[in-house]
Amino acid sequence: MSMGKEELFQERLNRYTTALKGGKPDKVPIRLQLSEFMAAYAGIKLQDIYYDLDNNIAAVDKILTDFDMDVCGGAPSLWWAGLHDAVGAKYLKFAGRELEENRQFQYVEEDYMKADDYDAFIADPTKWILEAYLPRIHEEFAEPGSYRANLALIKGTAAMMMANGASQQAGAHWAKDFGMPLSIAGISKAPFDTLGDTLRGLKGIMMDLRKRPDKVLAATEMLVGHNIFYGMATAGGDTTLPCFMPLHRGSFPFLNPTQWDTFYWPSLKAVIEGMWKLGKQTMFYAEGNWTPYLEKIAELPDHSIVFHADQTDMAKAKEVLGGRFCLSGNVPNTLLAYGKPAEVKEYVKRLLHDNAVDGAFIIDSAGVMQTDVKAENVFALIEAAREFGTY
């Protein structure tokens, strides 16, 4: 690592972690969830991002060359489509295969776990996943123990190792050649979301709340330990950077207040507190609107989360959580797609004025960006963040 890049890396990382811990760095850190926008900006088709790990990384290189940011969230594609093809995944659709060459990937939500699976799942989740769930959602595992299924396990494992290896190498390359730290280490979920997004689907989980509330509660309680472990394991034990936690079914108005208090919050709180005991902060990525729940969120230990606002009332978030937690957000994605650079600058100026004066603030878009975002607006965001966000 040349000295210049290494110093730059340390300066940026220090700026970011100072804000994460509630402090006031030299400048407001810039963290942008650019996602598929990176592919569009680099002129690479989405099918090439999903299927070719080198293209996925090259898109980031182009962004890091042109945009002044402090941390980077990784490559545009979360998934390597080749891995999912190797195991015949039924729950994801990719450009170049099921979708047109330049379409965003899609998750196909179903109740892949059935209501009568609860007991087996709660008793031994790993066994249930291996024997019942994986065969159900992957064509290649349809007959467990068969030649084809065994081969698919080997292909899937090898592909996972290749994808993880490529990500690790990419992280080292961005640090060395661009002086760019990553924004997160590890990923986990709220136990209710593990159950409600991935396993039972929206309809399934909403019916369960009425038909079998005890099972929902038992399953979310069982998932607490698993989700803490998953967060730490996917971070490789790192405690410098926060664990990314995209939050879904707890956003307003999915659940009524009693359901939220009973089924969503206790197990999520336990996961966050469990990781915090191990020194790991959570990036509370609150997709949608979480305004009614801010008082509950304030029960968490100081600095155990970074609260990321999407459509949560920013002023209220500042009032309730400010001073005890770092906040991040919330330049609207529609403004970045349809607004003019002058409007973006004005928004950023006001956002920083209202939220960043005492530090403990990171600027970001409200939600994950896609190909509709205009590059000129991203430049305007960065320019304004530097102009009005230098202490």
CA-CA distance, 225 to 122, in Å (whole number)?
12
Q: Closer to another protein by CB, 238 or 372: give it.
A: 372
Stretch that binds another protein, among 13-21, 49-57, 78-86, 92-100 (CB under 8 A): 92-100
In angstroms, what is the minimal distance from the CB of 206 to another protein? 4
CA-CA distance, 298 to 281, in Å (whole number)?
15
Which of 339, 356, 360, 381 binds another protein (CB under 8 A)? It is 339
Pairing of strands 106-107, 92-93: antiparallel
The amino acid occupying position 177 is: D
In angstroms, what is the minimal distance from the CB of 316 to another protein? 17
CA atoms within 13 A on the CB side of 379: 8
CA-CA distance, 205 to 202, in Å (whole number)?
5
Q: Identify the residue whose tokens are 């002129």.
A: 43
In angstroms, what is the minimal distance from the CB of 331 to another protein? 13
Q: Write each residue from 193 to 222 as x if it is in contact with another protein (CB under 8 A), else as -, in one continuous string.
A: ---------xx--xx-xx------------
Q: Does 371 bind another protein (CB under 8 A)?
A: yes
Continuous segment of H or E residues that includes residue 71: strand 71-72
In angstroms, what is the minimal distance from the CB of 115 to another protein? 12
In angstroms, what is the minimal distance from the CB of 150 to another protein? 32
**Contact present, 86 and 152 (Cβ < 8 Å):** yes
Task: Considering only residues 239 through 268, tell me which ones interact with another protein, judged by CB under 8 A.
Answer: 253-256, 259
Q: Does 78 bind another protein (CB under 8 A)?
A: no
Stretch that binds another protein, among 4-12, 93-101, 125-133, 383-391 (CB under 8 A): 93-101
Residue 284 DSSP SS3:
strand
Q: Closer to another protein by CB, 246 or 332: give it.
A: 332
CA-CA distance, 78 to 97, in Å (whole number)?
17
**Contact present, 118 and 212 (Cβ < 8 Å):** yes
Q: Does 375 bind another protein (CB under 8 A)?
A: no
Q: Among residues 88, 117, 122, 103, which one has the least CA distance to residue 45?
A: 103
Stretch that binds another protein, among 116-124, 160-168, 266-274, 329-337 (CB under 8 A): 329-337
Task: Considering only residues 3 through 42, tell me which ones interact with another protein, judged by CB under 8 A.
Answer: 36
Q: Closer to another protein by CB, 141 or 347: give it.
A: 347
In angstroms, what is the minimal distance from the CB of 364 to another protein? 15
Q: What is the dihedral of CA 41, 46, 49, 50, to 10 degrees?
A: 150
Which of 106, 146, 157, 168 binds another protein (CB under 8 A)? It is 106
**Contact present, 328 and 364 (Cβ < 8 Å):** yes
Stretch that binds another protein, among 122-130, 218-226, 274-282, 337-345 (CB under 8 A): 337-345
Number of residues in contact with another protein under rule CB under 8 A:
33
End-to-end C-alpha distance for the chain, whole angstroms: 29
Q: Among residues 299, 363, 289, which one has the least CA distance to residue 326?
A: 363
Q: Closer to another protein by CB, 16 or 347: give it.
A: 347
Q: Does 333 bind another protein (CB under 8 A)?
A: yes
Q: Which residues contact 277 (CB under 8 A, 6 or more apart)?
A: none
DSSP 286: E
Q: Does 299 bind another protein (CB under 8 A)?
A: no
Task: Considering only residues 264 through 293, tell me which ones interact with another protein, judged by CB under 8 A.
Answer: 288
Q: Does residue 242 have a cis peptide bond before it, meaning omega lies within 30 degrees of 0?
A: no
Which of 15, 27, 31, 103 binds another protein (CB under 8 A)? It is 103
CA-CA distance, 146 to 138, in Å (whole number)?
14
In angstroms, what is the minimal distance from the CB of 37 to another protein? 9
Which of 166, 372, 383, 386 binds another protein (CB under 8 A)? It is 372
Judged by the rule CB under 8 A, the positions of this chain that interact with another protein are 36, 93, 99-100, 103-104, 106, 108-109, 202-203, 206-207, 209-210, 253-256, 259, 288, 332-335, 337-339, 367, 370-373
